[in-house]
């Protein structure tokens, strides 16, 4: 699976996956239990609790590009360390919070550690173009693993340590991420590449909009799917990992050989419309349901397309950016990623209340299919030299 990776590339991918996974594990553990446990904090209201949940994504989105610019100027490693330190301090503030205002401030401070784009730029700096999508996939798998682990341990851990204890854990995980950053390789790959030679456009806007939609439908899915599984299939929450774990692991096993084949034939761009079609098809079939086993199969298709896009698009952005200004452009890309997650949560909740689960998933499926058509048209225009 990783045979063609250089030792430093594999080390970079695994270490960065650990950095991001530690940070995301701390965040994911909070989400399933926050609305219940925060009810005992003075000043609680559903609106303020919702703000505490969402403000992290907002500060992340606002600061991704500034952090990327700073990393271009001062280096990736020190900016990642600063970001993780802010994340850890925010966890301490939230753990000590005795009012909702202080808790919201802690969550906002956690979000100020906006290092996602910087981490992707570091990965691009330290990997060759032919191996970059595989390294990005390793990082994506780390995020997926942290999500799955959080689903299994969130409730029992909250029972043991409470909401304050969970925030203390996030602070510790932030410090552990800093230790991993210090262990990252110091020698970058000297390789200036661009996709202009293949006749593609050098604008990253289609990819930024693509990652916005990708993370919007991902967040929307997890707004809708848990309740749908309980309500329509009597599949209780504590068993949902039995659906998520096999579908995520299966997609991980399938995506790496696909990435190898796509990279070998230089078909990254051609894979994008097809992946969005698969996303749309999987969401559309989920809206019909049928059975838990069928939902497992549809989830496998969804996560396979999601992981393929999550791996290929950052490597394409890094190639379009070249080595100069890569942090800024990766920051712009991850800004849209977090804005997509924010929009997906808001839209998913609103549509679920107004239209129901099946219609919400159907609307998401339609958007993905329409975007596949748009991407196909963009690719044709790009090849014909109509985009600069």
Instruction: In whole angstroms, give the CA distance from residue 288 to residue 357.
Output: 10
Look at residue 237 in the predicted model and tell me its pLDDT: 67
Q: What is the pLDDT of residues 313-353, one digit of tens each?
A: 877 777 776 666 677 777 788 888 888 877 887 788 788 88
Burial bucket for residue 46 (CB in 10 Å: 0-12, 13-18, 19+):
exposed
| DSSP annotation of 43 | T
Spatial CA neighbour of 26 closest among 135, 138, 158, 139: 158
Q: What is the pLDDT of residues 360-371, one digit of tens each?
A: 999 999 999 999
- The answer to whether the beta carbons of residues 233 and 291 sit under 8 Å apart is yes
Higher pLDDT residue, 174 or 36?
174
**Considering the domain 1-191 in this protein, what is its CATH number?**
1.20.1250.20
- The answer to whether the beta carbons of residues 169 and 29 sit under 8 Å apart is yes
The proportion of the chain whose per-residue pLDDT surpasses 70, expressed as a percent, equals 88
Instruction: In whole angstroms, give the CA distance from residue 148 to residue 240.
Output: 10
Instruction: In whole angstroms, give the CA distance from residue 110 to residue 177.
Output: 14
Look at residue 200 in the predicted model and tell me its pLDDT: 46
Q: What is the pLDDT of residues 219-249, one digit of tens each?
A: 788 778 877 888 888 887 667 778 877 887 8
Q: What band does 296 get if pLDDT is binned at 50, 70 and 90?
A: very high
Burial bucket for residue 333 (CB in 10 Å: 0-12, 13-18, 19+):
buried
Q: What is the pLDDT of residues 97-146, one digit of tens each?
A: 999 999 999 989 998 988 888 988 898 888 887 777 778 778 877 777 77
Q: What is the pLDDT of residues 202-220, one digit of tens each?
A: 577 888 899 999 988 987 8
Token look-up 């990766």 returns: 330
Higher pLDDT residue, 190 or 44?
44
Q: What band does 194 get if pLDDT is binned at 50, 70 and 90?
A: very low
Which CATH class name applies to 193-388? mainly alpha
Half-sphere exposure of 356 (CA within 13 A, CB side): 6
| DSSP annotation of 225 | H
- The answer to whether the beta carbons of residues 163 and 252 sit under 8 Å apart is no
Residue 284, pLDDT > 90, answer: yes
Look at residue 261 in the predicted model and tell me its pLDDT: 82
Spatial CA neighbour of 348 closest among 335, 337, 336, 363: 363
Instruction: In whole angstroms, give the CA distance from residue 256 to residue 279.
Output: 18
Instruction: In whole angstroms, give the CA distance from residue 167 to residue 94.
Output: 6
Query: Which H or E run includes 96?
Result: helix 76-96
Q: Within the chain, which residue ranges are assigned CATH 1.20.1250.20?
A: 1-191, 193-388
Look at residue 384 in the predicted model and tell me its pLDDT: 61
């Amino acid at each position: 699976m990783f045979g063609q990776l250089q030792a430093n590339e594999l080390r970079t991918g695994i270490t960065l996956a650990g950095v991001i996974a530690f940070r995301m594990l701390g965040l994911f553990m909070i989400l399933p239990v926050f609305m219940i446990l925060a009810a005992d904090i003075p000043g609680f209201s559903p609106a303020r609790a919702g703000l505490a949940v969402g403000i992290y994504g907002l500060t992340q989105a606002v600061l991704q590009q500034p952090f990327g610019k700073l990393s271009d100027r001062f280096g990736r490693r020190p900016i990642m360390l600063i970001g993780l330190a802010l994340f850890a301090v925010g966890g301490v503030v939230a753990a000590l919070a005795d009012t909702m205002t202080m808790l919201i401030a802690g969550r906002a401070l956690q979000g100020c550690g906006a290092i996602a784009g910087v981490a992707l730029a570091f990965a691009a700096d330290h990997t060759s173009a032919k191996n970059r999508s595989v390294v990005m996939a390793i990082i994506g798998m780390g995020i997926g693993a942290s999500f799955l682990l959080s689903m299994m341990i969130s409730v029992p851990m909250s029972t043991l340590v409470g909401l304050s204890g969970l925030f203390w854990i996030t602070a510790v995980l932030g410090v552990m991420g800093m230790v991993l950053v210090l262990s990252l390789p110091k020698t970058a790959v000297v390789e200036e590449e661009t996709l202009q030679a293949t006749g593609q456009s050098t604008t990253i806007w289609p990819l930024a909009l693509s990652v916005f939609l990708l993370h919007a439908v991902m967040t929307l899915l997890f707004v809708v799917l848990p309740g749908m599984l309980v309500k329509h299939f009597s599949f209780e929450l504590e068993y949902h990992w039995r659906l998520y774990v096999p579908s995520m692991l299966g997609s991980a096993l399938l995506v790496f050989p696909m990435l190898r084949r796509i990279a070998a034939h230089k078909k990254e761009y051609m894979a994008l419309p097809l992946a969005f079609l698969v996303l749309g098809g999987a969401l559309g079939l989920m809206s019909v349901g049928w059975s838990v086993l069928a939902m497992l199969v549809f989830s496998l298709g969804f996560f396979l397309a999601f992981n393929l896009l999550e791996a290929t698009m950052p490597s394409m952005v890094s190639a379009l950016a070249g080595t100069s200004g890569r942090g800024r452009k990766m920051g712009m890309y991850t800004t849209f990623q977090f804005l997509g997650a924010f929009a997906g949560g808001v839209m998913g909740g609103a549509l679920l209340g107004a239209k129901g689960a099946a219609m919400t998933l159907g609307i998401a499926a339609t958007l993905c299919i329409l975007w596949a058509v748009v991407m196909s048209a963009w690719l044709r225009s790009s090849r014909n030299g109509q985009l600069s």
